[in-house]
Structure 1
Amino acid sequence: MNATSAVEAPRTLDWNVAVGTAVRLMKPGPEVPRSEAARAVRSLRRCSVEAESHVREQTGLGLDLPIAEGDVVDRPDWVRGAAFGLSEMTSAALATVESQSLRGGDLLGELSARSAGVQAGVVLAYLGGKVLGQFDPYGESGVDGQRGRLLLVAPNIVAAQQSLGVPADDFLMWVCLHESTHRLQFNAVPWLREHFAAGLGELLTQMEGGTGELLTRLPNAVREVRTARRADSSPGVVGILELLQSPEQRAALDRIIAISTLLEGHADHVMDAVGPQVVPSVGTIRRRFTERRAGGGLLDRILRSLLGVDAKIRQYAQGAAFTEHVVDRVGMSGFNAVWAEPGNLPARAEITDPDAWIRRVHG
């Protein structure tokens, strides 16, 4: 399906240009024998089903839902799928707000849809060589009407497994455990997909403020950055963006960051909790994979910082620590209270203070 076919509202970003740019810029995957590639594809499809069964047993979520195989794709197919999902997610977010200026407005400043598409394509090209897997909750409908696509990027998974020097079957299952957790989160919690879209829509609404408003906050942001640097505690790119935001924008961003951190951390916790039962080398994989996340050359690290990848890595750690603490204190059934209703989701401050969430939700 064309990445833009489901988007009827006027666009500020040309997704066709984004896909074309990314595919042209992206490096090919590792060269592996055809038989080995075919075996990896078969194993990933099998693992995607087995992994979700294990996740259901661990979490108690979605026990009565059907399970489908994940879609094993190459790098260009991931780009096409990601572009379609992003366009669908943006469309769903805009549908939750009333501002017509957002639908046809200039969310990306003075950039044309085409030039914005080129920039998005550069980002997708970079990520297309890094992403191992992804559940897209806004993708095409899956089995029995369940929405979303589980994408497993075979060349990246094979390359990562070879780079880490860990058993292939263990690593494939480990990756599938994480992504299957995401698929279960959105399919077992009926309100989550719409709630996330509504939060993103609210954030886009708050972003509608003009350049003049942003410039009024720039001097104070510069002073805070200088103060942080003198204290040897740079706020990073995400921190700088937050300094430039109004209180309303920060509040909307906090809600999106909190739920994203919860989802990523919960998936990391589950994959490691299930791991010892089905992934004998899980300890080695986690240690080496964490080192790989933090590594990379200078250019790679700069790009990761600019794209917010380093901030996402911190989300994994914070969200996993929150989940582990809550599960240790009140058990998995007690943790699952987060899925009961939107009001039970942790606030951003509660992510780093899980006892505050336990007191609020469990009394």
Structure 2
Amino acid sequence: MTSLGGVEMVDWNLAVATATRLVRPGPEVSREGARAVVSELRRHAKSSEEHVRDFTRMYPDRPAESDTPVLVVDRPGWVRANVAGFRELLSPLLEKVQERRASTPGGAVLGAVGGKVTGVEVGMLLSFLASRVLGQYETFAPATRELPGGADGSGRLLLVAPNIVHVERELDVAPHDFRLWVCLHEETHRTQFAAVPWLRDHIRGEIQSFLGETEMDPSTLLERLREAAQSLSGSRTQGEGTAAEDGETTENGRAGLVELVQTPAQREILGRLTAVMSLLEGHADYVMDGVGPDVVPSVGEIREKFQKRRATGAGKLDQALRRLLGLDAKLRQYREGERFVRAVVEELGMDGFNRVWTSPNTLPTKSEIGRPADWIARMRS
């Protein structure tokens, strides 16, 4: 990454150190119990492959595990993985801000201080998210010594064991069923990218175009990083409240952070990104529940309790932070995306729905996500 006088725009090492220091400890589990959890999650991730592929009728040319490893991680491990991904994905944006700051009097001094400050603030953000994410298909995952990535940077699947154990205890559901249910969702994401070779490059191109259109001064960088942390990671969180869609006014009467820095070109790109992320998340929710009755006996109880927890949150502070970070808008993606998938499958069957994966042109638009009949009509024309 470009730096000014050897100083990075964001002190990523400090971000990791801050997050791992502040993140709350996980639930108490014996060493033997922890080994059992890790082993079971790995088994479920493997068994989920066949369940997901048979249900979706999406079959990669080669086994997903040959491209995307499954990593069972703790909270600090999730932090390290996401920092590596952010560092790569956001580099074009940070380079632009870096160049602008280089022409500012005193920019080098401000850079040394700003990189530290931003590193601490990003670390604080990640410490909050690290205790909430259950699993994540990390689409853009550069390999590190501690965290191997897929072939040619093709991604990795993360399962955050402490968070899964915490939620299954809090919901008082069958651990075996809950762990498999979570794995079905994340395996669906892995199958999406393994079976649709063009999808990863398409999303990367859209994100890079979005960032390339960004014009900002360093004072707005943290707001963009906050948005990126919740929007680009694909993170699945324990609970999310209800609020406005991107571009609408939130409960407290203020526009979302993304509205502060959008250009017309960015708005168009963001609409496409919102649509595809809604599709991916909604498809995964549809699949995990569709597969569920045959392999997860208590799926109905799990879904009911999980939805209630997601809607109510863990407390007023938790709800306030979720609104600030935009996590409440992500819940809308799950709901609208799942409704789109369900409506299309009911009308066209699974094979008809799978036309969505043909090319970027067959992906639904943002408006079509809310009106599935419009997408169906377009495919029939």
AA of the residue aligned to 2:267: R
Q: How does 1:1-363 map to 2 (within 5 A)?
A: 8-10=1-3, 11-68=8-65, 70-91=70-91, 94=92, 101=96, 104-105=99-100, 112-139=114-141, 140=143, 147-208=154-215, 234=251, 239=256, 241-242=258-259, 245-295=262-312, 296-363=314-381
Distance in structure 1 (CA, Å) of the matches to 2:255 and 2:194: 30
For residues 120-162 of structure 1, the C-alpha deviation after alignment (integer angstroms, 9 at most, x for no partner) is 1111100100000111111136566672111111010001001
2:19–2:127 contact (8 Å) kept in structure 1: yes
Distance in structure 2 (CA, Å) of the matches to 1:273 and 1:285: 13
Distance in structure 2 (CA, Å) of the matches to 1:51 and 1:310: 28
Paired residue for 1:221?
Answer: none
Instruction: State the 1:305 CA deviation.
Output: 0.7
In structure 1, the gaps of 5 or more residues are 1-7, 212-231
Question: CA 1:113 to 1:362, structure 2 compared with 1: closer, same or farther past 3 Å?
Answer: farther
Give the secondary-structure state (helix, strand or coil) at the position aligned to 1:72: strand
AA of the residue aligned to 1:23: T
Question: CA 1:331 to 1:28, structure 2 compared with 1: closer, same or farther past 3 Å?
Answer: same
Question: CA 1:67 to 1:23, structure 2 compared with 1: closer, same or farther past 3 Å?
Answer: same
TM-score, reference length from structure 2: 0.80
Distance in structure 2 (CA, Å) of the matches to 1:250 and 1:179: 28
Give the secondary-structure state (helix, strand or coil) at the position aligned to 2:155: strand
For residues 283-310 of structure 1, the C-alpha deviation after alignment (integer angstroms, 9 at most, x for no partner) is 1101100111112210000001111111
AA of the residue aligned to 2:343: H
1:132–1:152 contact (8 Å) kept in structure 2: yes
Distance in structure 2 (CA, Å) of the matches to 1:312 and 1:145: 29
Instruction: State the 1:185 CA deviation.
Output: 1.3
1:206–1:252 contact (8 Å) kept in structure 2: no
1:238–1:308 contact (8 Å) kept in structure 2: no
Distance in structure 2 (CA, Å) of the matches to 1:103 and 1:187: 35
Instruction: State the 1:187 CA deviation.
Output: 1.8
Instruction: State the 1:240 CA deviation.
Output: 6.4
In structure 2, the gaps of 5 or more residues are 102-106, 219-248
For residues 153-184 of structure 1, the C-alpha deviation after alignment (integer angstroms, 9 at most, x for no partner) is 10100010010111111000000001111111
Give the secondary-structure state (helix, strand or coil) at the position aligned to 1:132: strand
1:12–1:105 contact (8 Å) kept in structure 2: no
Instruction: State the 1:242 CA deviation.
Output: 3.2
1:264–1:315 contact (8 Å) kept in structure 2: yes
Distance in structure 1 (CA, Å) of the matches to 2:15 and 2:138: 18
Distance in structure 2 (CA, Å) of the matches to 1:22 and 1:237: 28
Instruction: State the 1:209 CA deviation.
Output: 5.4
Question: CA 1:180 to 1:236, structure 2 compared with 1: closer, same or farther past 3 Å?
Answer: farther
1:102–1:205 contact (8 Å) kept in structure 2: no
For residues 95-130 of structure 1, the C-alpha deviation after alignment (integer angstroms, 9 at most, x for no partner) is xx9x97367456xx9882322221111111001000
Distance in structure 2 (CA, Å) of the matches to 1:288 and 1:236: 30
What RMSD over aligned residues (CA atoms) do the two structures have, in Å?
2.7
TM-score, reference length from structure 1: 0.83
Distance in structure 2 (CA, Å) of the matches to 1:197 and 1:12: 22
Distance in structure 2 (CA, Å) of the matches to 1:120 and 1:209: 18
Question: CA 1:105 to 1:244, structure 2 compared with 1: closer, same or farther past 3 Å?
Answer: closer
Over the matched positions of the two proteins, sequence identity in percent amounts to 47
Distance in structure 2 (CA, Å) of the matches to 1:143 and 1:248: 32
Matched pairs, number: 330
